[in-house]
Amino acid sequence: DWQPIIAIRKKATFNGRPNSVNVLKQSINISANDEMEVRITTGGTTSNLSWATPTGVDANETAIETKVTGGTALTTSVDGNPLDYGFVFANNKSNSTFDSNVAATIGANEELIFWIRRLSATGAIIVKHANITVKEEW
């Protein structure tokens, strides 16, 4: 089964005004210890956890919000439309990565969701690092 691990969206309001900042997804990458499929969707809806300011950024300095699982399963009520798809191949390495540079503009109230799924049916995947990089055009 596909598991969403990170979701981002553009805030509805930013510093007390409608959010007019253009938000572009620049890249997404993940590092893990085993083989898995990855996908990125837009237009989906996550249905648990709270939206929060990205780590290390003041709320009044960013036009986006994130949901990061942090060990709690992120669930969805709508999967969304595929934007990019790929694989992390282990190839007997201790560390494999996937990096997506597909450009996308995130619309108002639109969620961009990053998903993973095991290629084999057993065991847990150890995600060592995962992030979404966005560009805010003010």
Of residues 57, 62, 80, 66, the one with CA closest to residue 132: 66
- pLDDT band at residue 61, thresholds of 50, 70 and 90? very high
- pLDDT band at residue 91, thresholds of 50, 70 and 90? low
Where would I find the beta strands (DSSP E) of 33-95? Answer: 36-46, 64-68, 76-78, 81-88
Tell me the pLDDT tens digit for each residue of 103-134. 788 887 789 898 888 887 676 777 877 888 88
- What per-residue confidence (pLDDT) applies to 35? 81
Q: Give the count of beta carbons closer than 10 Å to the beta carbon of residue 116.
A: 20
- What per-residue confidence (pLDDT) applies to 70? 65
Q: Report the C-alpha gap between 74 and 115 in whole angstroms.
A: 10
- Residue 136: is its pLDDT beyond 60? yes
Eight-class DSSP state of 59? G
